[in-house]
Amino acid sequence: MASIQKRPNGAWRVRYTDPSGRERAKHFDRKTDAQRWLDEMTTSLVTSTYIDPRADRVLLRDYAEQRWLPAQVHLRPNTQDLYRQHLKNHVLPAFGDRAIGTLRRPDMKAFVADLAKKLAPATVHTVYGVLRSIMQSAVDDELIPANPCSRVPLPRVDPRVIDPLPPESVLALMESITARYRVAVLLAAGAGLREGEALGLLVPRVDFLRRRIHVEQQLTGDGTAPVLSPLKTRASRRIVPVDDVVLEGIAEHIRKFPPSPEGFLITNRLRKPVRRSSFGNRWKFAVAGAGLPKGTRFHDLRHFYASTLIAANLHPKTIQSRLGHASIVETLDTYGHLFPMAEEDGRGVLDQALTPEPVQDHPDYSRT
């Protein structure tokens, strides 16, 4: 039910009933404005696109922290931590004290332009993805009618060309890093384990007899206490054959640094799971001590592993399986430039296929 009434003070009062049955009202100085607003509300009610006019007054900070973040239960702990960091460091300083309903596309374009001045393009995409997710959630919760983050151009992300570490650099890192964490370098360079997979490896997952490692979980979390969590994807769960140098390194590590009561291979001085931040600091010192460029990542050891398998002429599907990639496309997109490209391979096969067989003359026996 909706109506327009003139008040004694000359203002026009619009009344209507929202979908929840509550009566809503708003006052206008002019009847034409009141009628236009009532028409808009009536249309939205009929078309099921109604948005509470007061809902968009919620501050982005309150909505993100109280409603959006708690709903991200589907994300892995590492991803949740990353989103919290981007929210705290970038999104809230820019828009935390703004009402959600006041944000417009020009605000988003300015935000992206500011991020692009100080962050790498790939990071800009990730940060903006957090903001876009928050705003889309507000649309789904019927706080705003549309997502202002849509159709905003983002900086181009150029594909990263992998330049694998040479063997001498890997050996230098093993010598430079804290002895307690040396086996982590070996697991990445010699078995292709990601950082969380290496730090979360349990001793029972190492099959010394069959010379292989079962990668089944990863270590995540750093804010309170590290915990074992599911792997990045289903394909990440894998069995990796390993050479003797890896197995001998693991055995030597166990002799020097006994596993934790829970079975963690790599532990800190208290025989507890390693915090990712603590390991990250030790890694930075190791990079500097090995004389490698600042910014050399632990993940570069995994690239070394992949490039070594490629150089050994292993089939791409085998490499995909050992790396735990979800598809062969991911493997080829990342390492395709490392596979040998022989320009002369295949030359001549089409000549043979498309050249007709010569007709052979049969002997004429009638003249004999």
Question: pLDDT > 70: what percent of the chain?
Answer: 91
Domain at 57-140, CATH class: mainly alpha
Of 68-77, 177-186, 242-251, 307-316, the least confident: 68-77
Where does the pLDDT of residue 203 fall: very low under 50, low under 70, confident under 90, or very high at 90 and above? very high
pLDDT of residue 172: 97
Res. 363: pLDDT tops 80: no
Q: What is the mean pLDDT of the segment spanning 247-264?
A: 96
Helices (H), 64-210: 77-86, 92-95, 105-118, 121-140, 167-176, 182-191, 195-199
Contact between 136 and 281 under an 8 Å Cβ cutoff? The reply is: no
> 130-167, pLDDT tens digit by residue?
999 999 999 998 788 889 999 999 999 887 788 999 99
As given in the structure block, the two tokens for residue 341 are 């490209």
Place of tokens 């001498």: 168
- Domain locations in the chain? 2-50, 57-140, 167-338
Rounded Cα distance between 67 and 32, Å, is: 38
Mean model confidence pLDDT for the chain: 89
Q: What is the mean pLDDT of residues 246-264?
A: 96
pTM of the model: 0.70
pLDDT at 10 > cutoff 90: no
pLDDT of 178 > 80? The answer is yes
pLDDT score of 222: 63
State the CATH architecture for 167-338: Orthogonal Bundle (1.10)
- Among positive and negative, which fits the CA dihedral 60, 61, 63, 64? positive
